[in-house]
Amino acid sequence: MKILMIGNSPKVHGGISAVIRQIREYDWKSEGIRMVFIPTFRGGCNTQKLLYFVWAYCRIVWTMVVFKPDIVYMHMSHHGSFDRKNAVHRLCRMFRIPDIIHLHGSEFVRWYGECSAKKAEKIRKLLRECGCMIVLGQEYNRQIHEIEQASRTVILNNAVIVPQIHTEWKECLQVLFLGVLIKRKGVSDLLDAIRLLKERGKLKSVHFVIAGSGPEEEALKKQAEDTSITDAVSFVGWIEGEKKMRLLAKSHILVLPSYNEGLPVAILEAMSYGMPVVASAVGDVPEAVIHGYNGYLIKPGDTGELANDLEKMMDREHFLKLSENARQLVIDKFSDKQYFHTLTELFFRTEKRKRL
């Protein structure tokens, strides 16, 4: 079977790129699949983005003619990502190639609600016409069917490889944030919670690491200075690859106080090391973080509760219990073996329907 996969350039930061990298690194030849990847998006000004997509579009047309893929597998979020994938979807219809769309964008539903009636109909049409829509969890699945009942969805949770390394308790805990520094990630709320912990005298046994970059970075650093918490917080920039693995191995707790999410890979990566998680109860996060079992769920923006839950984890026995549960949940529910088995079956089912 031949598959053409389409998504972000590997140079783009974020969870979608991490998923694409994971898929590209899998041994598809062992499954009898030959996969070709064409990126359609890279950062830059609008003109650069447009030119990059035009060049990618030409490559896609050439690949459809010469490579003759059995399936086109696309990674999509919202805004411009939808427009690009919708254009490729029209090509798939023209060449009679079934397409599978892997929907990642945590703000897709909100974005849909803000679209014009004309744009909303285009979105519903794509949801109806594509061969299959992969969603990240039960909540996301429900929301997509509210938009378009006729959409053919398959739930596929993100997954990770479980490392041999397991986080261990230390008297000074390292709390980690991983992600792009944008407003919806709630990092400003995290800094406010750190301020509350300082007022309670609870920062002697904990240090916070903000691993990420983005448009909010300078404002967040200024907030840390203004609230006199710079001694307790380190901004280390964007981390990936081996550096990220080493950072995860040295950390003890993950915090993700977002206002919108799907099912972040960062949460699963942290849990695979045995890190308890404090995260907002948004999107499909509750499928991975069970309140009081392997971490805590908070309401977005509730900095008081965020500080309270972080303080609870400073107890050794409680931390160890949450840590063990976090790692076991990843092994049971979010292993890469099950992930690729499900994805492979989906590819072959889709290809079989094409032949019928």
pLDDT band at 355 (very low <50, low <70, confident <90, very high): low
Question: Is residue 170 within 8 Å of 316, Cβ to Cβ?
Answer: no
Q: What is the pLDDT of residue 220?
A: 98
Backbone phi, psi, residue 212, to 5°:
170, 170
3-state secondary structure 10-64: CCCCCHHHHHHHHHHHCCHHHHCCEEEEEEEECCCCHHHHHHHHHHHHHHHHHHH
State how far the Cα of 311 lies from the Cα of 153, in Å rounded to an integer.
Answer: 40
State how far the Cα of 303 lies from the Cα of 291, in Å rounded to an integer.
Answer: 17
Question: Is residue 68 within 8 Å of 1, Cβ to Cβ?
Answer: no
Q: What is the pLDDT of residue 43?
A: 85
For the segment 229-238, the average pLDDT, to the nearest whole number, is 96
State how far the Cα of 120 lies from the Cα of 343, in Å rounded to an integer.
Answer: 28
Q: What is the pLDDT of residue 18?
A: 87
Cα dihedral value 134, 211, 209, 171, nearest 10: 60
For the segment 78-92, the average pLDDT, to the nearest whole number, is 96
Q: Using the predicted structure, report yes or no on whether residue 134 has a pLDDT greater than 90.
A: yes
Q: Give this prediction's pTM.
A: 0.84
- Amino acid residing at 135: V
For residue 255, give both structure tokens: 């915090």
Question: Is residue 347 within 8 Å of 3, Cβ to Cβ?
Answer: yes
Dump strand ranges (E) for 171-219: 173-178, 206-211
β-pair partners for 235:
210
CA terminus-to-terminus distance, the chain: 16
State how far the Cα of 147 lies from the Cα of 50, in Å rounded to an integer.
Answer: 28
- Amino acid residing at 289: V
Dump strand ranges (E) for the chain: 2-8, 34-41, 71-76, 99-103, 132-135, 153-155, 173-178, 206-211, 233-235, 253-256, 277-280, 295-298
β-pair partners for 101:
74, 133
Q: Per-residue pLDDT tens for 16-60?
A: 888 999 999 999 999 999 999 999 999 889 999 999 999 999 999
Q: What is the pLDDT of residue 31?
A: 96
For residue 199, give both structure tokens: 């007022």
- Of the listed ranges 9-18, 148-157, 229-238, 239-248, the least confidently predicted one is 9-18
Q: Which domains does the chain have, with CATH numbers?
A: 2-159+335-355 (3.40.50.2000), 173-333 (3.40.50.2000)
- Amino acid residing at 337: K
> What's the whole-number average pLDDT of the chain?
94
Q: What is the pLDDT of residue 28?
A: 97
Q: Per-residue pLDDT tens for 305-317?
A: 999 999 999 999 9
Helix (H, G, I), strand (E, B) or coil at 160: strand
State how far the Cα of 150 lies from the Cα of 162, in Å rounded to an integer.
Answer: 36
Q: Per-residue pLDDT tens for 117-132?
A: 999 999 999 999 999 9
Q: Per-residue pLDDT tens for 251-289?
A: 999 999 999 988 898 999 999 999 999 999 998 999 999
For the segment 335-342, the average pLDDT, to the nearest whole number, is 91
β-pair partners for 296:
278
